[in-house]
Amino acid sequence: MRRLLAPVLGLLLLGGCASMEPAPHCDMSRISGQRDLVPGPAMVPGESSPLKEMPMNSVNITDPAIMNKLYVRSIAARRTATGTVEVVAQVVNCTDFQQTAEARTQFYDSTGVASEPVSAWQRLHLSPRTSSAYRELSMGDKTVDGYMIEMRETK
């Protein structure tokens, strides 16, 4: 009886796998708490800001239209051979539809001040359930100490 049961169980398991489509798993609940608007540092003495401070060296999806559609899988930065900074963000389309987004980067010096003009918006085309890399290079070399990437839906 056990000899008959094992092959049948194996076929049932394989049959279930055949209907599964490969796709990235997007768990938006892990980052949803970071999107809440809570009082941040005051810009005017005595008044609090309605926004959280955006952390350095991160990607900030600033457009609610794509907030639950795109997921930033990873972010990396490195110095190139010429001393400039290259940032790379791996972005995943968590939907079953083509998505188009734009991203740009602001580079900062060690004091948190913008070290150069913000980059131009770059368009990302993401097929359903795929990922794409956003890359940007700084113009400066020694002055760059941090960055912030902004992402929005294509206008």
Contact 56, 112 (CB under 8 A): yes
> Which pLDDT value is given to residue 55?
84
Per-residue pLDDT tens over the stretch 90-132? 999 999 999 999 999 999 999 999 999 999 999 999 999 999 9
* pTM of this structure: 0.70
State the chain's mean pLDDT as an integer.
Answer: 79
Contact 121, 150 (CB under 8 A): no
Residue 140, pLDDT > 90, answer no
Which domains, ranges and CATH numbers included, belong to the chain? 55-153 (2.60.40.3230)
> Which pLDDT value is given to residue 152?
94
